[in-house]
Structure 1
Amino acid sequence: MIKQIRYSYSIALLLFLSANTCLWAQESDTSSLASAETPKKEERPSGQVLDKIIAKVDNHIILESDLQKAYLEAVSQSQQGFEAPSRCDVFESLLINKLMVAKSEIDSVLVSEAEVLIQTDQRFSMVLSQFGGDEESLVEIYGKTADQLKAEMQDAIKEQMIVQKMQGKIAEDLTVSPADVRKFFEGIPKDSLPFFSAEVSVGQIVKKPEVSKTQKDKVISQMMEIKKKILDGEEDFASMARKYSQDPGSAAQGGDLGFFRRGELAPEYEATSFALKPGEISDPVESMFGFHMIQLLERRGNTFNTRHILIKPEPSEEDVVRAEKYLDSLRKEILADKISFAKAAKEHSDDRETSDNGGFFTDPNSGSNRLTLRTLEDPVLYFTIDTMKVGDVTVPMRYDDVDQRSGRSEPSVRILFYKERFSAHRANLKDDYEKLKQATRRKKEEDILSNWFVLAKEEVFIDIDPQYDRCEVLQEK
């Protein structure tokens, strides 16, 4: 059976953001692996061991370092209570990914370059935020420029997006019924039932301070001064973008975004861009990301190339206090049973990731509202819950919310609700239905993927290093 290992985006980062990775192998060599590599541990004059190609799928390769990083990440992220994957499982998964990419070229399953660029910018911003937005620190650690790192990220992210699209196409008709879940559960030997640690159900209602007109006017005034300096010839647009723009994805490139089609950028941004003449600079225009000052570089039919300076107004202390008062009033209504926490979250929370789920955090693996405390990455959140009792709703608390698009921290306010605690136990249908449903879905996906793999492998060239013959990934099981 083919085992499909699900990775978070951080695996993609690990595959290329490694100070120790040496990618000396050349993809252009399409000969067999036996002739594609020199002895198993070829060394450079300095004594540095070269990386090794362990599999080829058409023109796509898998390196020994790819497998090692993916294996370590898969083990660290294996779902609680279930067996961690073996190296062969992970190798098989990487091979399937390469097969999907090769097959996508045959089947014309594509992702747009614009989609890839947007994802790359967002994920690079998240990485950069871990270094306090300091590109020099990133370059110093990895020995590559920001552009080089983004180029490597772009290739990995494109592959990841293609694989996701292929997976969706292959398993598009998959359904999981309660009968399927029961059958899967009953097929697990009683002495092999997974053991789950204590879990909690916790929700939040978030209020992002509404920025006052005064704060917005300050940004508009600042941007108009920047525009005047550019038009007067005192400064050029690119240098001002590098100095002032808060878009980490484009600031280093002088604000240049490259070509996009209609419908791919924020409506306000797009409308302003199409109203400009080549070379013309707009007044500040507001979108959900902040205020933009846009320069149209070129327009080709329904595509356009622009650069911009983005500045996001910061809420004042008064703005934050208003958010605290708003949540305090809402908390009193919840405690007085005038409104349920879930209803209040859906109607009033500014965090869309949790509000659609009644405000409750979900386990990234199972999708369940029950999660172990170790799943919570925010240490403040962890220790706050550790001091609460079941049924408690906290007073409004300030915290820094990291914007997933820009990687920037934004001051926010939230209240937390500790709904329920579940003791450690062996898996059962009543308490663990959602986890078992996800496991059932993965099993059915594996079966579908296995059948697809048997047929698809005949359409591409696959060559595997003899060292990995033991994994038997090309054999029907």
Structure 2
Amino acid sequence: MAILAMEQDIIESKLMLSKPCIGSPTFILVIICLMVLPEAANDESLSDDLEYSSGPSNLSEEILVHPTTGAIVLASVNNVPVYDVEVQRYLDRLDVFQGLPESTLQIYRSGVLSQLVRQQGVFSYLQTTDYRATEQEVNLALAEVTKTLEARGQSLDAFLAAGKADKAMLRRNLAWKIVWNRYLDSYLTEVNLRRYYERHYAQFDGTTRRVAQIFQGDPSNSDDFEWDRAFRDTVLIRDRIQQGELKFSDAVKQYSNSPSAADGGDLGWIGYHGPLDPRIHEAAYSRPVGSIVGPIQTRFGIHLLYIMEEKRGTATWEEMVDDIRAAAASYLFANVAEKYLSDARVFYFGEEEASEMDPTLVHMFHKEFVAP
């Protein structure tokens, strides 16, 4: 599912009158101590951890291994490493990968790696602004972590060794938490959150929409299904409907091979989140009532949707503020990453950036990586 967008005027309305105050070190400490392994987010160069040459074509396999912990570098952003242990930590925390084939797991690993690369790109930019974390602030957070671990009878060195990490990695993680929470505190004001809710109420208040579809597919024999041809045919059907040459109800009768065709393609009332493929839910809320949306490709086939009606939900802004804040944070993360990652020096070592994240995991990934 695509990342939810906050309109640009929310950004433009942010307050920049003074440098925001740092969040409570105790709060940061709690976040860190819940982690099994640290995250990669840092302004220190790759050469601080590894011997680094001028570019990926000159790197040997030995250079890609942390000399102390044995962690393997999968990517770098502005010479800051992203390690395999960090990717694995997120996979373990998501805890939805048991029993999946290796090919599928690799897609998810690539997705996590891409998110960590984007995170480092965001961090690199924010460290050039008034939101940056100072060395003193990181020292304070590190002292709090050490104190808490000692109270639990565990040394900092043992904690880091258990995660194949070192103190530099932990400092990077602490700095990221300080910077990102400070940035969010500045942007996610009550005014901006209310505005986001008003623009995107259907995502939060329980609004439902009645949707019909034209479906082309053969779920029982997807290997022999002509995907490209079905997609092109659906584009032509959509164009004829939009040009007034064909009624949607008639197109359902002629072209849809879904059981819903017997009911005019009616899928009933669906919410923003629900049991159907997330691409269907996203598409059903992407355009105004009365719109034709698609084609949408899912693992089942090709769908063309007609948004028929809408019923507003009853959940209030106050009831959904946590979800609104998380969605707004996701937008801010994506916005900054898109704007500044293109200027960063990004290298992938033996790994590839994910082309598309499985939409069933997008919401989970947002909460893990960018929710305050």
Is the structural similarity TM-score above 0.5?
no
Give the TM bin, normalised by the shorter chain: 0.3 to 0.5
TM-score by length of 1: 0.36
